[in-house]
Amino acid sequence: MSEDENTPVESAQAAAEVAPAADDVPPDRLAISPRSPFFDAEKLQRGVGIRFKGAVRTNIEEYCISEGWVRVQAGKSMDRKGNPLTIKLNGPVEAWYEDLGDEPPVAKA
């Protein structure tokens, strides 16, 4: 075998370094409200960073990367059940886990 040929194990290790693992990228859709079907406490505990239209946002209630929208609270308004009223904003969305350091894999459409 020549030096420039990789064994299958070395090829798999190289591919794992290039492509992020499925656990390293946040889900396509996630919500912070426990009443939502897209709520996942385990993923939220890791800390999810959101970039919407090029700016890092910290007030996101829910996002969907594939559909390109986020929901944010509309001021201090509440509905009759005490839940915050939200508005849907359209634009490019990127998400990453904040616990992975300075250069985490980013999920984007």
pLDDT at 14: 45
Query: Averaged in consecutive runs of 10 residues, what is the pLDDT profile of the chain (109 residues)?
Result: 52 48 86 95 94 95 97 94 94 93 84
Backbone φ and ψ of 90, nearest 5°: -100, 145
Contact 73, 102 (CB under 8 A): no
* Spans of all domains in the chain: 25-108
Cβ of 4: how many Cβ atoms within 10 Å? Answer: 5
pLDDT at 4: 53
